[in-house]
Amino acid sequence: MSDAVDCLPIRSAEAVQPSCVSRPTDDPLVLRISPNEQLISLTEAARRLPKIDGRKVAISTLWRWCRKGLGGENLEYVRVGRKVCTSHEALLRFFNRLAHLDERIPPDTHSRPAAMKRTAITSKQRQKALAEADEVLRRAGI
C-alpha cells in the first residue's frame, strides 16, 4: 500500500487510472506521466509552445487535447488539486505520436476528394446566381 502514495493519478479521455497500476503496454487508454517527470501547468505549457501563425496555443486547446484528443491521440495530464498539469516529456510524446500518424497516411490522401474540391466561379456565374436568388425572393414576396 505504500507504493500507492508515490502514484500520480492520470486522466485519459475515457478513464482514470493511477500511473503505478501495472497494465499491458498495448492498452491505448493508459497514458502515463512518470513520477520523475517535472509537472507543468497547462498555462506554463502554453507559454513554452512555439507560436503558430503568429499566435500562441490557447490553454483551452491544450485542455481539449487532454480530454478529446487530436487525431485519436490524447495529451497526458494529471490533476494536482484544482490544477491540471502535464509535463514537457508528455508534450513531446504527444507531438511525436501525431507526427507518427502523419507518416502512416499516404501523401495523396491529404488532398480533398474530387467531389469536395472548390472551383473558382467567374463574375458572370456570380451575377447569374445573384439574379436567380433575387427572382426566388421576388416570387416569394420578400
Quote the pLDDT of residue 104: 74
Q: What is the pLDDT of residues 15-62, one digit of tens each?
A: 433 343 333 445 554 568 888 899 999 999 999 999 989 999 999 999
What gap in Å lies between CA 5 and CA 87, rounded to an integer? 20
Beta carbons of 77 and 10 less than 8 angstroms apart: yes
pLDDT higher than threshold 80 for residue 133: yes
The pLDDT-based confidence of 2 (bands split at 50, 70, 90) is very low
Distance of CA 103 to the CA centre of its chain: 17
Backbone angles phi, psi at 79, to 5 degrees: -105, 130
What are the CB-based long-range contacts (under 8 Å, 24+) for 82-86? 83/41, 84/41, 84/42, 85/39, 85/40, 85/41, 85/42, 86/33, 86/39, 86/40, 86/42, 86/45, 86/62
Which residues are CB-neighbours of 109 under 8 A, at least 6 positions away?
none
Quote the pLDDT of residue 17: 39
pLDDT greater at residue 114 or residue 39: 39
pLDDT higher than threshold 70 for residue 8: no
Bridge partners of 86?
40
Quote the pLDDT of residue 30: 54
Quote the pLDDT of residue 10: 46
Tell me 58's DSSP state. P
The Cβ of residue 94 has, within 10 Å, a number of other Cβ atoms equal to 21
Quote the pLDDT of residue 47: 94
pLDDT greater at residue 116 or residue 9: 116
Q: pTM for the complete prediction?
A: 0.54
Backbone angles phi, psi at 101, to 5 degrees: -60, -40
CA triplet 115, 71, 17: central angle to 5 degrees?
Answer: 155
* Mean pLDDT across the chain: 78
Quote the pLDDT of residue 107: 63
Tell me 36's DSSP state. T
Q: What is the pLDDT of residues 62-75, one digit of tens each?
A: 999 999 999 889 99
